[in-house]
Structure formats: C-alpha cells, structure tokens
Amino acid sequence: MAKNNKNGNNTENSYDESDIQVLKGLEHVRRRPAMYIGDVSSRGLHHLAYEVIDNAIDEALAGYCDKIIVAINKDGSVMVDDNGRGIPTGMHPTEKKSALEVVMTQLNAGGKFDRNTYKVSGGLHGVGVSVVNALSEFLEVEVYRDGKIFYQKYERGEAKTAVKITGKVKSKTGTRVTFMPDKQIFKNIVFKYETIEDRLRELAYLNKDLTIVISDERAGIKNEFKFKGGLVDFVKYLDEGEKSISGKPIFISGERENIQVEISFQYNESYNDDIITFVNNINTIEGGTHLEGFKAALTRTLNIYGTKNGIIKTEKITLTGDDFREGLTCVLSIKVPEPQFEGQTKTKLGNSEVKGIVQSITGEQLGNFLDENPSIAKKIIEKCLRAAEAREAARKARELSRKKTGLEISGLPGKLADCSISDPAQCELYLVEGDSAGGSAKQGRDRRYQAILPLKGKILNVEKARINKIVENDEIRTMVTAIGAGLGNSEEFDESKIRYNKIIIMCDADVDGSHIRTLLLTFFYRHLKQIIETGRLYIAQPPLFKIKKGKSELYAYDESDRDEILKSFKVDKKAIVNAGSEEGVVVGTGESKITISRFKGLGEMNPEQLWATTMNPETRTILQVTNENASAADKMFRVLMGEEVEPRRKFIEDHAKYANIDA
C-alpha cells in the first residue's frame, strides 16, 4: 500500500523511519546467504558440512580430539560427531542464556578469538556453525560434557527447545551436530558423498594423529581414514602411478616463533609441478608467503649444490625456479596462530614473517638431505637441466614464430571473431569445438561482447608434454594469443592482460566432445591455472533435446528436464520407450503430435537455436570451473591424462556404471 509523504501526498518512493528494518537473530544470514557461504549451489551446500567439520578439526588441532565421525543420513541430513571437549553449556555471563545456544544462534560468538582456548584455528571468524544453523531446516546438537548429555533443537536458526539434559555418560566428551539444509535456501539439498570424502581424506593426511570415519547411509558406504605417515603418505597418494626419481618422499619439519612447518615432496618423471599448500588446514589455492619461502629455498639450495658439485655448468645454461620444479609433487602445511589472508578469494597467506621461517627450515634440511644422498641429488638436478633445455627450446620456438608472423605478432589470431567492446570486464570468449559450430556461434552471438574462437580437432594432451612441445602446438598458441596474458607458469604471464572476464568451453555433448573438454581443462589447470582461480573459466551446457509441439519449441538439457517438459504436456515418460527410441514421435491424450529430436552436436543447431539455448545470458546455463579441492583435482588429471595406464583402467572400471555414452 502506498504511503503519504510529509505533504500528505501518496508516494511509492518515500523513505522514513518505517523503512529501517531490524533483522533479528540470524535472519540476515537467511536473507543474504551468499555473503556467508559463497553461493546457494552445490558448492555452498557442501560448505555447510565443512563448517561443522572444521569446528571438530579445530578441537583436534588444540589436542583434544582424535576421532571424527561424519555421516550422510538416509533422510539426506548430515551428522558430525567428535570426541573433543564439547561446546560449553553453562550460563553465558553476559547473554544470560546457555553458552551452547549463544554459539549456535549468534554470529561472532565462539572460542576462536581467545588464543588461550585455540592457539591455532581454521575457523577464525566465529560465524561457522551459527550460519549452518540459520540455513538449515532443522539442526540438533548433543553435547557430551561433565558426565551429562545436553540437547537442543533449532529450526531455521531459532531455538525450539531449551538446552536440556537427556542422559548421563561416564567419560565420553564431545559434540554431535545433525543438520538438514533448508530447501527454501538451496536449489538442491543432495550431498555428494565423493565431495565430502575427498575433503575428509585430505584432512586426515594433514592431521596424522586423527581418525576420520565417513559413511553414506543412503548407499551403505563406509570408509575410515588414518594416515600415520601424514604428509609423506599424502605425497605418495598424489603420486600414485607416477615413477619417482627421488625415492621415498622427502620430509621436512620445524617450528619457529610458534609457527609450525611441515613439508613433504618428491620428484617424478612427469613434466608438471604440483605444490599444494595449507595454512591451519585451509587450502591456500592462491599460495602466499609460505609458498614463496619454499620456492626460494628449493631454487637456492639445489642451485648451490649442483654448482658446487659440478653438475650445473653455469657457462652452458642458467636454471630458473620453473626448472627446479618440473616433476615436483609437494604438500606444504603450516600452522600459524594469527594468519592474515588476502587475494581474490581470501586464500593467499600474507604474513611476512612466514617466508623467512619456511625458507630457513627448508634450506637447512634440504641441504642436509642432498649431502647425505648424492645419487638422488644428481638425478634431481639432471632432470632440472633437461627442463631448462626444453624451456630454452620453447623460447627459441616462440621467437621463430614471432619472426614468421612479422607484424601480426601484435595482432590476434585470424580465426578469432573478436567482440567490439574492449573492456575485459564485459567480454567473454567462447572456445568452440569445430568450424561448423564455430560458424553458427559467430552468426548467433552478440558481437558487442561475445568473441568466438573455433578449435580444430583435439588439442595436445599437455599432461604428457614438455613446454617446448606445448608452445609449438597451433591450437594452444592460438588460445594463448587470444586470451592475451601468456602462459600461466612462465615469466611472461601478465594477469592484467587477460582480455576476457569469462572464457567458456563449448563442446558437443558426446564422447568426442567430452574428450576435447577434458583436454582443454587439463591445459587450463596445468598452464593457465590463474584463469580458474580467478573464476573466469566456464563450461557451456548445450541442450540434448528439442521438443516440438505444434508451433512451440522447448529445449531440454538432460533426460530429467525432458521428462518434466513431457509431463507438462501430459505425456507419460513410457511413451518415449513405446516410440522405440529417445528420438521419435510421441503421441499425447488426443493432442497434436510431439516430436523429440536429440542433438548429436552443436553444428546441428542453427545460429538462432545456439543463441537461444547456449549463448544468451538470459537463458543459458554455464557451469563455473572451480578448484576447491586442489589435491582431488590434481589426482584426477594425473589418472585420466597421465602416462600410466593402470590407474586409468581402474578408474574406468570403477566408474563405468555411471557413464552415459551415446551409441
């Protein structure tokens, strides 16, 4: 209803004291969930589980918990149980209610701010469990403490019962939280077992004294993780299937100024480096001062050893940091009492004092290892020399390419249909499989901000190639030139020169398309990871079916989408089967006939269809590529795209039942 302004006139745009809203309790979390968990997609959903798990992990870091049990229940809820100290349940001195209720229902309430309670913590902001509570249809918590069992239930962040004692225990302590995500908030509330399992496996490697049990009651699956070898076991797991040239993983550890450092690494015969870093169990995907310290120590120590022992001849070639990291698999984990995070996603460590500490500890212990293991040291440095030779060959190949193209080097690839807007923030580049689809995309696009780069055939599998072979590949060179920033792991890379805010991979929805998409993802992950880490890489989702009834045409992106459309037309799903195939004519209950067409490729769509289904920002579906779990992603690329056949064969055998392969 319209309000009156001070002159007594009705107005829809008045602004007075009645417009000031006071959101009580956790209501503001429910209004703006993305501010607290990133988004309300599958990523945000799983973030809820991680928030509760991280509370249990912090108890382990404090030395009070050695077992965590996580279960996805049959009803889809998640239970996290730890044997830590248990959340305090007594009366809070200022809030005049149980401390348990304060922790569960108020932001910025928790024990992480007091360094006497938690010297090191992954959850630093005190928002975790209360945010989970706010975004859950229901949440139940049981606390085992002081010989009693305390219980409280909440619905959408509000306490529905007082904290009450429901039983007694002899010696058990800890906290059990069970929560059901709210369907009013999340588009999909189905947890993926594999996603949570990957994170728990990683946490078990990082905390070698901890046992973690995970089960999926929906499917009867259960697994237990405990890795006494800690980071050494982690490196072995990541390098499973690779041939090590340095024997068993090297382990380095030390503590200075209350900063604990643990590092494990080894060299293998591959051409990529994989360094995964953590601070207080948080995956620092953007690196930071701890990574800088390790890289500096590795380069300096190996260089000094190689030169001193006559393996590196300085007059022949100069080695760079990249050369010393080829074939390196490393996990670096540090514990910092007061971490300072920065960067695009707040996952870059900024503590200046950490660099020197990591560099000093690494340099001393690696130097000792090399002196005590001269044969391994020689193998490592000889590999670094081969990497330097390949890098030099790549440099010469780039120079030759520039001479051949002459004035065109400052220009763009001839087959790139660029956009007219020059502001990268507004521009997007489609990497399109095949000239046919590329032609349709060029005609159907919005030329102002959409650029099209058709790709011919399958690009090089960069997992199996050295840098000199990569820079000689025409399709890769074309992509790198179009994007504009250079290769991501070279000294030439300049993030400020990236020409597009979105880079969208658009391939056919068939086996070949999946293979091309995987090759492209491998290239970006290994050589333009900054595109992924800054949220610029996407995968287009072209429709699988066109459903035509009379003059109307609707598009379905998968089988369930197709079934929903048919349901709206009052056509039974069984009718498709009766029609003989997924492509054919289906006749309704006395209605006009319905034709279902399955697209075999992007090239089958005319420009208007491609725009309407796959390229129009108002109607398209694109999936953002993220790197939330670096270790799982790295492992997957090695298995699917690496040299070793056996791990790939096992993966295919284990996952064949989930495949959807076109005939």
Residue 18 has pLDDT above 60, yes or no: no
Which residues are CB-contacts of 551 (< 8 A; sequence separation ≥ 6)?
Answer: none
pLDDT at position 318, please? 84
- The two beta strands, 594-598 and 545-549, are antiparallel
pLDDT at position 117, please? 59
Instruction: Report the pLDDT averaged over residues 316-338.
Output: 92
Instruction: Report the pLDDT averaged over residues 540-561.
Output: 84
Taking the alpha carbons at both ends of the chain, their separation in whole angstroms is 60
> What pTM value is reported for the model?
0.79
Residue 287 has pLDDT above 60, yes or no: yes
Full set of structural domains in the chain with CATH: 27-225 (3.30.565.10), 231-394 (3.30.230.10), 410-541+624-658 (3.40.50.670), 545-598 (no CATH)
Instruction: Report the pLDDT averaged over residues 470-492.
Output: 86
Region of poorest pLDDT, from 22-36, 382-396, 495-509, 522-536: 22-36
Which residue among the candidates 512, 558, 572, 583 is catalytic per the annotation? 512
Interatomic CA distance for residues 543 and 598, integer angstroms: 9
Residue 634 has pLDDT above 80, yes or no: no
Alpha carbons within 13 angstroms on the beta-carbon side of residue 329 total 29
Instruction: Report the pLDDT averaged over residues 445-458.
Output: 93
Region of poorest pLDDT, from 18-27, 184-193, 596-605: 18-27
Interatomic CA distance for residues 500 and 181, integer angstroms: 36
Which residues are CB-contacts of 76 (< 8 A; sequence separation ≥ 6)?
Answer: 180, 189, 190, 191, 218
On the 0-12 / 13-18 / 19+ scale of CB atoms within 10 A, 262 is: buried
Which tokens in the block code for residue 74? 């049959």
Does residue 508 carry a catalytic annotation?
Answer: yes
Which residue among the candidates 51, 142, 433, 463 is catalytic per the annotation? 433
Does residue 510 carry a catalytic annotation?
Answer: yes
More confident residue, 400 or 46: 46
Interatomic CA distance for residues 541 and 508, integer angstroms: 9
pLDDT band at 211 (very low <50, low <70, confident <90, very high): very high
Can you give 144-213 as a three-state secondary structure string?
A: EECCEEEEEEEECCEECCCCEEEEECCCCCEEEEEEEECCCCCCCCCCCHHHHHHHHHHHHHHCCCCEEE
pLDDT at position 112, please? 55
Q: What is the mean pLDDT of the chain?
A: 85
Residue 584 has pLDDT above 90, yes or no: no
Selection from 44, 53, 51 nearest residue 71 by Cα:
53
pLDDT at position 531, please? 92
Residue 113 has pLDDT above 70, yes or no: no
Residue 556 has pLDDT above 60, yes or no: yes
Selection from 537, 346, 583 nearest residue 431 by Cα:
537
Instruction: Report the pLDDT averaged over residues 61-67.
Output: 93
Residue 510 has pLDDT above 80, yes or no: no
* Of 137-146, 433-442, 512-521, highest mean pLDDT: 137-146
CB atoms within 10 A of CB 312: 21
Instruction: Report the pLDDT averaged over residues 574-578.
Output: 56
Residue 229 has pLDDT above 90, yes or no: yes
pLDDT band at 109 (very low <50, low <70, confident <90, very high): low
Region of poorest pLDDT, from 121-125, 196-200, 536-540, 566-570: 121-125
Instruction: Report the pLDDT averaged over residues 408-426.
Output: 82
Which residue among the candidates 155, 292, 510, 644 is catalytic per the annotation? 510
Q: What are the residues facing 276 on neighbouring strands?
A: 331
pLDDT at position 663, please? 37
pLDDT tens, residue by residue, 260-284: 999 999 999 998 899 999 999 989 9
Instruction: Report the pLDDT averaged over residues 551-555.
Output: 83
Residue 17 has pLDDT above 90, yes or no: no
Rg (the chain; Cα; Å): 28
CB atoms within 10 A of CB 48: 27
SS3 state at 343: coil
CB atoms within 10 A of CB 458: 14
More confident residue, 442 or 562: 442
- The two beta strands, 428-433 and 3-4, are unpaired
Instruction: Report the pLDDT averaged over residues 588-604.
Output: 74
pLDDT at position 660, please? 53
Region of poorest pLDDT, from 98-102, 450-454, 531-535, 561-565: 561-565
Q: Residues 405-413: contacts with CB within 8 Å, 24+ apart?
A: 412/481, 412/482, 413/453, 413/478, 413/481, 413/482
CB neighbour burial string for 610-635, b if at least 16 within 10 angstroms, e if fewer:
bbbbbbeeeebebeebebbbbbbbbb
Which residue among the candidates 323, 326, 508, 533 is catalytic per the annotation? 508
Residue 197 has pLDDT above 60, yes or no: yes
Angle formed at CA 547 by CA 542 and CA 550, multiple of 5 degrees:
140
Instruction: Report the pLDDT averaged over residues 391-420.
Output: 72
pLDDT at position 394, please? 83
Selection from 498, 477, 457, 506 nearest residue 615 by Cα:
506
Region of poorest pLDDT, from 314-318, 533-537, 590-594: 590-594
Residue 230 has pLDDT above 50, yes or no: yes
pLDDT at position 16, please? 46
pLDDT at position 658, please? 55
More confident residue, 647 or 337: 337
How many percent of the chain have pLDDT more than 90? 52
Region of poorest pLDDT, from 64-78, 111-125, 157-171, 453-467: 111-125
Residue 174 has pLDDT above 50, yes or no: yes
pLDDT band at 561 (very low <50, low <70, confident <90, very high): confident
Residue 241 has pLDDT above 90, yes or no: no
